[in-house]
Structure 1
Amino acid sequence: MSARPDILCIGSVLWDVIGRSDLPMVAGNDKPGRITRLPGGVALNIAMTLRRFDLTPALISVVGDDPEGRDLMSACGRMGLMTQHMLVDADLPTDRYMAIEAQGALIAALADAHSLEAAGARILAPLGDGRLGTPEAPWTGPVAIDGNLTEAVLAEIAVNPVFAAADLRLAPASPGKAERLRPLIGHLRATLYVNLEEAALLTGQSPRDARTAAQALIDAGAHRALVTEGGAAAACADADGCRVCTPPAIDARRITGAGDTFMAAHIAAELRGIGRADALQQAVLAAAAYVAGDDDD
């Protein structure tokens, strides 16, 4: 593993507890299925996918000094992820996420990222104390940031000199947290990765599809925006125009983590120098394979 990471992944690093059923479900149902616990969180999902593209990500987040935190750090290390810049806090429990999926659709989910919120800007210390950079010599590579960070921390990132030279890649984490990204919408080095619902929340509009949503974000001041529309389309817009890619038809087996896979595959493609149209297509195909379960180990 390289001593210097290829990319920093800042945000939620936690345990995912996912229940999946092959049967149709609605709220209140009790159906047979499978329950798994696996490393998750937006920042960690992105990092795991980047690792599959032979990149070395460093995780910037917090875990508790508890059995769950130690297990999670060990699991991340075995996957080849850099964890030495993680904050370990004895006073905070390791965060968790719980979801129920049926036939590849999300029925309900709860994100318990309270420790990440409580840690606040303390997780950013390695970017300013010399381990990964200083205000005078800031980090110059890509940084994936998720909306599980508080709005106050995201607002600090927007103006903090330690991020002045970084290539910022932003994901809301969920529609309920999309508006936390508002302080970074106009950042000249930021790329937004959102779905149609999140784009609507950020723009205050009701875009009819991925193309119009991506253009609405550019009109709202975004430097670049990628918008996914489930199995219908994905769009990438910037000052030079808008590109649209249609995903292949698949049978969905899972949904949690699909957006993170899309984002990571797109970042990996661009870091390899792939052009924007092809990078968008690679991201769409990677997300489709994930949803179909084709990339299962």
Structure 2
Amino acid sequence: MRYRSVLCMGGCVVDRIGETTEARERLHTSNIGRMRSGIGGVARNVAENLARLGVPVGLVSAVGEDADGRRAVAASRAAGIDTQGVVVMTGAATASYTAIFNGAGELVIGLADMAIFDAIAPSAAEAALAAASDDTLLFVDANLPAATLEAVARAKRGRMLAAVPVSRQKLARFAAILPDLDILFLNRYEAATLLGREGGEPATLAQGLAAGPVKKGLLTLGPDGALAWEEDRVTQIPALPSRPVNVNGAGDALAAGTLARLAAGDDFIAAASRAMAAAALTVEAMETVRRDLSMEAMLARFDLSLRTETISR
């Protein structure tokens, strides 16, 4: 099957995760523990998921001229991502996120070094969009500077533009381009921030989003699935049954699965529903991006859930 291509623009990050062997951390001294590392970043993770789903995908990002940067680019290429749009910046460190958890699974401290993304100029995004075909789907995360996001919005030329804010703090970078976004993926906390509220029930938040400037999107609710809005209509998208071992990466898989099915020609609700299978498969693997993910596996998991629901009635 032929899929429309997708161009992902945003973060490419080295993740380092540590955990102390004892249930409680010991501050101001050394702790015995374990460390593991991997390649992450929302845009890069979405791109890898898309590549594993069989969708032609390119990445626009930046890495440093260092070992981490070489590792990130090599891993991305090996996964099937076109990395021509990844700029290697001399004198800059590849972005990294380091998180230390205690043995009880509680975050002790997290350190995000993302300064390199501030140097991704509007011209880099404009050049990538100029080279992309007219039917390419576009995806951005808010690791990009506001000026670069605005350049993407100006240069989209009628192409579909989807976005993930990454965090409540970085959501502000979308302020000027919200009317230009065709699809927005966000969680309930980001939704409350966008709507200027302290909180709220998911259904109320979804109705507020549906009345806002973004045409359609997914309000993700973890194990409760998601609420999709399209113009002024809100639709519940149920999560599929799963046995989670690591929920990191579920949102990236959901966004990628939705984009992949849109690239295949599905309408938005059908695409988001099928993408729930990508999220279910991802939480059952230790990796942030499941290495054996495929379109065949995603659709088979979705079809299986439909048969299970039919039998259980």
TM-score, normalised relative to structure 2:
0.79
Does structure 1 residue 94 correspond to structure 2 residue 84?
no
State which of 170, 177, 182 in structure 1 corresponds to 2:175: 182
Which consecutive residues of structure 1, in runs of 5 or more, have no partner in the other structure?
A: 134-138
Q: Could you tell me whether the CA contact under 8 Å between 1:5 and 1:57 is conserved in 2?
A: no
Q: Return the letter of the residue paired with 1:179.
A: A
State which of 195, 198, 218 in structure 1 corresponds to 2:190: 198
**Within-5 A mapping of 1:165-244:** 165-187=158-180, 189-206=181-198, 208-239=200-231, 241-244=233-236
| Structure ID, larger Rg | 2
**Within-5 A mapping of 1:228-267:** 228-239=220-231, 241-267=233-259
Q: Return the letter of the residue paired with 1:38.
A: G
Q: Could you tell me whether the CA contact under 8 Å between 2:218 and 2:226 is conserved in 1?
A: yes
Q: Which residue of 1 aligns with 2:10?
A: 11
Q: Return the letter of the residue paired with 2:118.
A: E
State which of 269, 277, 287 in structure 2 corresponds to 1:277: 269
Distance 2:203 2:25 in 1: 31
Distance 2:196 2:23 in 1: 33
Distance 2:229 2:285 in 1: 29
Q: Could you tell me whether the CA contact under 8 Å between 1:168 and 1:191 is conserved in 2?
A: yes
Does structure 1 residue 268 correspond to structure 2 residue 260?
yes
State which of 246, 267, 292 in structure 1 corresponds to 2:284: 292
Q: Could you tell me whether the CA contact under 8 Å between 1:5 and 1:82 is conserved in 2?
A: no
Q: Could you tell me whether the CA contact under 8 Å between 1:99 and 1:110 is conserved in 2?
A: yes
How many equivalent residue pairs? 286
Is the alpha carbon distance of 1:296 and 1:55 closer, same or farther for their aligned partners in structure 2, counting shifts above 3 Å? Answer: closer
Q: Could you tell me whether the CA contact under 8 Å between 2:60 and 2:128 is conserved in 1?
A: no
Is the alpha carbon distance of 1:57 and 1:205 closer, same or farther for their aligned partners in structure 2, counting shifts above 3 Å? Answer: same
Distance 2:50 2:236 in 1: 23
- Measured on the aligned residues, the alpha-carbon RMSD in Å equals 3.1
Q: Return the letter of the residue paired with 1:90.
A: T
- Could you tell me how far 1:234 is from its partner in structure 2? 0.3
Q: Which residue of 2 aligns with 1:67?
A: 67
Q: Which residue of 2 aligns with 1:126?
A: 127
Q: Could you tell me whether the CA contact under 8 Å between 2:126 and 2:152 is conserved in 1?
A: no
Partner SS, residue 165 of structure 1: coil
Distance 2:248 2:83 in 1: 23
Q: Return the letter of the residue paired with 1:63.
A: V
Partner SS, residue 83 of structure 1: strand
Q: Could you tell me whether the CA contact under 8 Å between 1:99 and 1:106 is conserved in 2?
A: no
- Structure having the higher helix fraction is 2
TM-score, normalised relative to structure 1:
0.83
Does structure 1 residue 151 correspond to structure 2 residue 146?
yes
Q: Return the letter of the residue paired with 1:118.
A: A
Is the alpha carbon distance of 1:168 and 1:26 closer, same or farther for their aligned partners in structure 2, counting shifts above 3 Å? Answer: farther
With 264-273 and 91-100 compared, the bigger mean Cα shift is at 91-100
Q: Return the letter of the residue paired with 2:212.
A: A
Percent identity between matched residues is 27
CA offsets, 1:242-283, max 9 Å, x none? 111222454532233221111001111121123433322222
Q: Which residue of 2 aligns with 1:39?
A: 39
Does structure 1 residue 164 correspond to structure 2 residue 157?
yes
With 221-230 and 118-127 compared, the bigger mean Cα shift is at 118-127
Q: Could you tell me whether the CA contact under 8 Å between 1:179 and 1:201 is conserved in 2?
A: no
Partner SS, residue 83 of structure 2: coil
Q: Return the letter of the residue paired with 2:112.
A: A
Distance 1:251 1:243 in 2: 25
Distance 1:276 1:24 in 2: 44
- Could you tell me how far 1:78 is from its partner in structure 2? 1.2
With 256-265 and 281-290 compared, the bigger mean Cα shift is at 281-290
CA offsets, 1:46-68, max 9 Å, x none? 00110111012101011112222
Which consecutive residues of structure 2, in runs of 5 or more, have no partner in the other structure?
A: 293-313
Q: Could you tell me whether the CA contact under 8 Å between 1:211 and 1:227 is conserved in 2?
A: no
Is the alpha carbon distance of 1:34 and 1:251 closer, same or farther for their aligned partners in structure 2, counting shifts above 3 Å? Answer: farther
Distance 1:103 1:238 in 2: 43
Q: Which residue of 1 aligns with 2:303?
A: none
